[in-house]
Amino acid sequence: MERTPQTLERFLSGLSEGWLQSNEGEGTWNAHEVVEHFIEAEKHNWIPRVESILFEGDKHLFPAFDRFSHLKNISKRTVEEALQEFGSIRMKNLSKLKEFLQSTSYLEKTGLHPEFGIVKLRELLSAWVVHDFTHMAQIVRVMAERYRTDVGPWSAYLGILKRN
Amino acid sequence: MERTPQTLERFLSGLSEGWLQSNEGEGTWNAHEVVEHFIEAEKHNWIPRVESILFEGDKHLFPAFDRFSHLKNISKRTVEEALQEFGSIRMKNLSKLKEFLQSTSYLEKTGLHPEFGIVKLRELLSAWVVHDFTHMAQIVRVMAERYRTDVGPWSAYLGILKRN
């Protein structure tokens, strides 16, 4: 999980606006917006929910998280600035997590998800990891979209261009 | 395209064998195998086909490329060694490409693909880029597979776990 910001930094930092602003059509996110979503999730989703499980238990609902909050205030900063914030908040959150997880038995502790009901800490932490993967793959897919027609007949062999 | 090896290096280098060897089931590739495939394609696919277009034209079939060649001799080297070879051959190939492309009019030159028939250089080059994206997304997807059941109910929201 400490690799995600570094990997994205290597992939995105310094790219032209053409790459950073291309998306998959109306209502879809570009690469910079995905990075802003990562930051919102670091601030308002993962650690607050870990704390809810550890300190409140499954009698209290998880704090709310708006998956679209980063779109309300599309920041005017560059993607490099966003990547830097993502890197620093991720490292901070991982240290917090290490502090919290003093015993592996904590992994079985439960919280109350507004939709799923009772969930375990270990499921939340796994979801955090796979959430990274989901949005890394999304960024790569968004980039590929830009070349959809340019590849000509090769689209048949380039799996990433198959629409879900 | 010079970012792909660096991005993968940041993502994969130093990972445990558990991550590097996990795949999506029989007949699928793990992350290390994908890196070996990238190297085979650098050696035997992209530049040889660029040369075929520029120096032979569309009267000659492209040189053959075996998409599974990297599986015949699964190398005993580490993924770090493979990433290093990928980085160095990619840089070499990009310099060659820059040398070859002395005029943008070359982009319209054509070659003979064994399956697609006549293809343009610009389509081949676009396919090279999207081939990078396809296999980067594959690596991320293979990683996510490892946590498929661990995420519990979150699988509903984690798009990367939806099977194609």
Given a cut of 70, whether residue A24 has pLDDT beyond it is yes
Q: For residue B13, how many other CB atoms are within 10 A of its CB?
A: 13
Q: How far A115 CA sits from the closest chain B CA (Å)?
A: 9
Angle between helices A79-100 and A3-12 (to 10 degrees): 170
Q: Tell me the average pLDDT across A139-151.
A: 95
Residue A122, chain B, CB below 8 Å: the answer is: yes
Q: Where are the domains of chain B?
A: 4-161
B120, containing H or E segment: strand B117-120
* Sequence-distant (≥ 6) Cβ neighbours of residue B41 within 8 angstroms: B65, B131
Kindly report the backbone phi and psi dihedral angles of residue B144, in degrees, each rounded to the nearest multiple of 5, phi listed first.
-65, -35
Q: What is the pLDDT of residues A41-87, one digit of tens each?
A: 999 999 999 999 999 999 999 998 888 888 876 778 999 999 999 99
- For chain B, give the mean pLDDT: 94
Instruction: Test B140 with A133 for CB contact under 8 angstroms.
Output: yes
- Pairing of β A117-120 and β A110-113: antiparallel
Return the pLDDT at B164: 45
Residue B18, chain A, CB below 8 Å: the answer is: no
Candidates A127, A150, A152; nearest CB to B151: A127
Candidates B126, B151, B160; nearest CB to A147: B126
Instruction: Test A140 with B136 for CB contact under 8 angstroms.
Output: yes
| Conformational region of residue A27, where left means phi above 0, alpha means psi within -120 to 50, and beta covers everything else | left
Six-digit token string for A30: 């570009």
Instruction: Test B153 with A6 for CB contact under 8 angstroms.
Output: no
| ipTM for the assembly | 0.93
In CATH, the number for domain B4-161 is 1.20.120.450
Return the pLDDT at A164: 45
Residue B109, chain A, CB below 8 Å: the answer is: no
- For chain A, give the mean pLDDT: 94
Report which of residues B71 and B12 the model is more confident about.
B12
Instruction: Test A123 with B150 for CB contact under 8 angstroms.
Output: yes
Q: Tokens 């997304």 correspond to what residue?
A: B137
Q: Which long-range contacts (CB under 8 A, 24 or more apart) does B156-162 make?
A: B157/A127, B158/A127, B158/A130, B158/A131, B158/A134, B159/A134, B159/A138, B159/A164, B160/A130, B160/A133, B160/A134, B160/A137, B161/A130, B161/A134, B162/A164
Chain B residues close to A159, C-beta within 8 Å: 134, 138, 164
B42: nearest Cα among B108, B97, B116: B97
Residue A164, chain B, CB below 8 Å: the answer is: yes
Six-digit token string for A23: 């998306």
A89: nearest Cα among A33, A47, A49: A47
Q: How far B93 CA sits from the closest chain A CA (Å)?
A: 19
Given a cut of 80, whether residue B72 has pLDDT beyond it is no
Return the pLDDT at B115: 93
Six-digit token string for B98: 């820059």
Residue B123, chain A, CB below 8 Å: the answer is: yes
Return the pLDDT at A163: 62
Return the pLDDT at A64: 86
* Sequence-distant (≥ 6) Cβ neighbours of residue A155 within 8 angstroms: A148, A161
